[in-house]
């Protein structure tokens, strides 16, 4: 998740503290709004060091669940 926080901070120019709050709000929102099988993967998708790779896998998996390739 630190990689995502750093990316948000750098791209928006906000402090890391504010970027962390924003990321946590978005993650919480996604977990509340997405179907349970996808929501359970949100934390895993942003939790590791290889965020970009995990996010790509997460998006592909989510697309497959909705009939997209």
| 18-53 confidence digits (pLDDT tens) | 999 999 999 889 889 988 888 888 877 776 555 545
Give the count of domains, the chain: 1
Q: Quote the domain boundaries for residue 61.
A: 2-65
The dihedral built from the CA positions of residue 26, 34, 55 and 40, taken in this order, carries a sign that is: positive
Structure-block tokens of residue 69: 């390739």
| Predicted structure pTM score | 0.62
Q: Provide the pLDDT for residue 37.
A: 83
């Amino acid at each position: 998740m630190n990689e995502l926080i750093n990316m948000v901070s750098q791209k928006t120019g906000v402090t890391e503290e504010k970027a962390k709050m924003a990321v946590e709000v978005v993650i919480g929102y996604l977990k509340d709004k997405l179907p349970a099988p996808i929501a359970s993967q949100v934390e895993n998708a942003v939790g590791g060091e290889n965020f970009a790779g995990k996010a790509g896998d997460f998006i592909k998996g989510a697309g497959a669940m909705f009939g997209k390739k």
